[in-house]
Amino acid sequence: MNLSRRNILAIGGAAVTVSLIPVDFAMATPEAAAEALNAFTGGAAVTDGGIDLVAPEIAENGNTVPISVSAPGAVAILVLSEGNPSPGVATFTFGEGAAGTAATRIRLAGTQNVLAVAKMADGSFVRAARAVKVTIGGCGG
């Protein structure tokens, strides 16, 4: 195939056009977070309280949002977000005698609710939620 100047310009123009097409990154929905919660709990009832979720009310940068969760007597804690590309943020599993406390930094794509659910040693589930306002998005946002 002979590449003329016209062919090269046409190929280059097509490549630029394709690169300018906006990409819509799929975000999780509250329904997707509910599905992840259901998978974690097996459909069991979840009650409010019994777990502390500490997160800033306003996060200046969504790339590094500090959170901590504490549920004395928990065997596992799931952290979910409703607006990230994937609702599952972190799962912490605790051995016998552990304090049931964890702290980390997470990425949030924008302003959204963060939910923490703890599975207690007796098989019950408790939750806490916190709204976090993000001024500069993370996760590609």
User: Is residue 71 situated within a structural domain?
Assistant: yes
Predicted local confidence at residue 25, as pLDDT:
47
User: Is residue 83 situated within a structural domain?
Assistant: yes
Q: What is the pLDDT of residues 69-97, one digit of tens each?
A: 999 999 999 999 988 888 999 999 999 88
User: Is residue 11 situated within a structural domain?
Assistant: no
User: Is residue 18 situated within a structural domain?
Assistant: no
Which pTM does this prediction carry? 0.77
Q: What is the pLDDT of residues 22-53, one digit of tens each?
A: 444 456 677 888 899 999 999 999 999 999 99
Total domains, the chain? 1
Domain CATH for 53: 2.60.40.2470
Distance between CA atoms of 97 and 116, rounded to whole angstroms? Answer: 21
User: Is residue 140 situated within a structural domain?
Assistant: no
User: Is residue 95 situated within a structural domain?
Assistant: yes
Question: Pick from 119, 94, 116: which is nearest to 106 by CA?
Answer: 116
User: Is residue 88 situated within a structural domain?
Assistant: yes
Range of the domain at 75: 25-134
